[in-house]
Amino acid sequence: MTTNDFPRVCTPAGPVPAVAPFWNRQRTSQMPSHRYRDVYSRVEVPLTERDWPTRRLVQAPLWVPVDLRDGNQALAEPMDPERKRRFFELMVKMGYKEIEVGYPSASQTDYDFVRLIAETDIAPEDVTIVVFTPARRDLIERTVASIRGIRNQVVIHMYTATAPVWRDVVLDKDRDELRELILSGGRDVLEFAGHLPNVRFEFSPEVFNLTEPDYVIELCDAMTELWEATPDRPVILNLPATVEIATPNVYADQIEYMHKGLARRDAVILSVHPHNDRGTGIAGAELAILAGAQRVEGCIFGNGERTGNVDIATLALNLHAQGIDPMIDFSDIDEIRRTVEYSNRLEIHPRHPYVGDLVHTAFSGTHQDAIKKGFAEHRARAADEGRPEGGLEWRVPYLPIDPADIGRSYDAVIRVNSQSGKGGIAYLLETDYGIELPRRLQIDFARRVQEHADSTGLEINAATLLELFEDNYLNLGTDVIELLDLGSLSENNKTTTRVSVLIDGIQRSGSYDTIGPVEAVTQLLGEHGIPIDVLSLHQTSLTAGADSEALTLMEYRDAQGTRWAAGKDRSILTASVKAVISAASSSAAVAAS
């Protein structure tokens, strides 16, 4: 290592602490940690007798996804109506029964989406709709206007920041002044919506975890008294860790203090809204449930401001892994992931718990061996007991849940590592030919390479990999379907796409308005008995420069399941269309065999 390596990184050079044992030689660093105070110096944590450490998680809380509001406001490009509706429909399909749908006083798009719910049947009658508002009269009035006509149960969620720094720096109000502001907002909510029989109320003292405990109790009790909370019409008190500032046990203590100290506790639904600034949002939520929380607000896969809201998908699947029904369906986690990525326009990390492309993949040979032996024991036990494998207790090493529970195959677990290790599949294709495979295609291709290696016993080089790639994805039944013509015409602000293909020697043509070439070709093929559902398109250039060829890698679904095809051409658009033709040719050939 030279002195120029990492020039802005300062190697700790201070003294070794006197209390350090001999085996710990870490030195004092130059980090300015003295600038910060620990949580106990910033807020009182009064609870001394705790019950939560002795409790166990035994059932799922009420999950409340806030992706359409809290998650949406954290996006560089907030969701348009189509993406928002698609996400909402996914949540309903998965089984969520209370969904925060927007901030209607802050955005016309959010207001219009709430009106869409009022004017259509996209929300089943057993789904509660939550709308968000600050404690300001004009914004509360607009929020209530947005929910007019909704037949579902509705929750009006009012919030105000209550912590000392926010009172002093942001709001410029003392405790009494802020209390009056909050109560005034609560009275406005009652004036505009108190008479509506399907409406309940929620209050969030934002930055609860940095607010004085006695003040939070005072505010929350005042709100439940004002709103006349009863067991038949309970008030939700939502206690956010707006900025995570302590270890999860501190949040649990704060929640248990509220759980034990609130008036009218049987008329309160105690809710939490953890963020993930310290990376412990999941743990904070789990301990908060042990401490008395009944409801959890968060985002599916954890989108949100800064480091995100708590990930309610991971929380739910953590329960599943402990034998507790999460009350939400994750049996096609890849479809869920695709929809969340489509709506948020953010990719999910390959190591993200449960949903990442690599979470069931073992690259270590010893891990892989243990997993293979675990699968063999699982199958043998199923045969001995005469029971289906899916009904047996799961105890395969390194895999906390059965990938099949969430719609994953076992190929990703036991195939990819051995093949990427032997042949360097992805590396060779990318470095020698410029073909960059998405992770899921690497998994599919690795299985095909394994089959070839098993049948030939030969070492696989880059040229053989390319030949296998083209045979399996690029040159699929081109004698079955051929692209004859593809063109588009724009006239009077309307674009028409013309398509002509040859199917088994017969020319088929179509003309389609307001859709692109890929959608037009897909629709024409579907009209002639070859349905193809395009799931994702990945495009790359095979070489650098103006003469480079474009390669489109397409994930699609047909009657045989989810598969891959590819198309290559100087034009990116034509390469994508050729990928569709390749997929359709393969699908038609398999169907005819």
CA distance 509 to 512: 10
The sign of the torsion formed by the CA atoms of 312, 341, 202, 122 equals: negative
Indicate whether 419 pLDDT > 50. no
Q: Which pLDDT score is estimated for 439?
A: 81
Indicate whether 416 pLDDT > 50. no
By the 8 A CB rule, do 558 and 531 touch? Answer: yes
Q: Is 153 exposed, middle or buried (0-12, 13-18, 19+ CB in 10 A)?
A: middle
HSE-up of 461 (CA within 13 Å, CB side)? 1
Say which amino acid occupies 196. Answer: L
By the 8 A CB rule, do 283 and 274 touch? Answer: no
Of 7-16, 44-53, 306-315, 544-553, the least confident: 544-553
Q: Span 226-237, mean pLDDT? A: 98
Of 383-387, 491-495, 497-501, the least confident: 491-495
Indicate whether 365 pLDDT > 60. no
Q: What is the DSSP string of 370-400?
A: HHHHHHHHHHHHHHHHT--GGGSPP--TT-S
Say which amino acid occupies 532. Answer: I
Q: What is the pLDDT of residues 34-43, one digit of tens each?
A: 999 998 888 9
Residue 48 vs residue 172, higher pLDDT: 172
Q: What is the pLDDT of residues 435-484, one digit of tens each?
A: 888 888 888 888 888 888 778 776 667 788 888 999 999 877 656 788 88
Indicate whether 1 pLDDT > 60. no
Residue linked to tokens 């100087």? 570
Tell me what the pLDDT averaged over the chain comes to. Answer: 90
Q: How far is CA 560 from the centre of its chain?
A: 27
pTM of the model: 0.79
**Residue 166 backbone phi and psi in degrees, to 5:** -70, -40
The percent of residues above 90 in pLDDT, for the chain, comes to: 66
Indicate whether 313 pLDDT > 50. yes
The sign of the torsion formed by the CA atoms of 368, 325, 405, 387 equals: positive
Give the confidence band of 300 by pLDDT, cuts at 50, 70, 90: very high
Residue 423 vs residue 341, higher pLDDT: 341
Residue 45 vs residue 154, higher pLDDT: 154
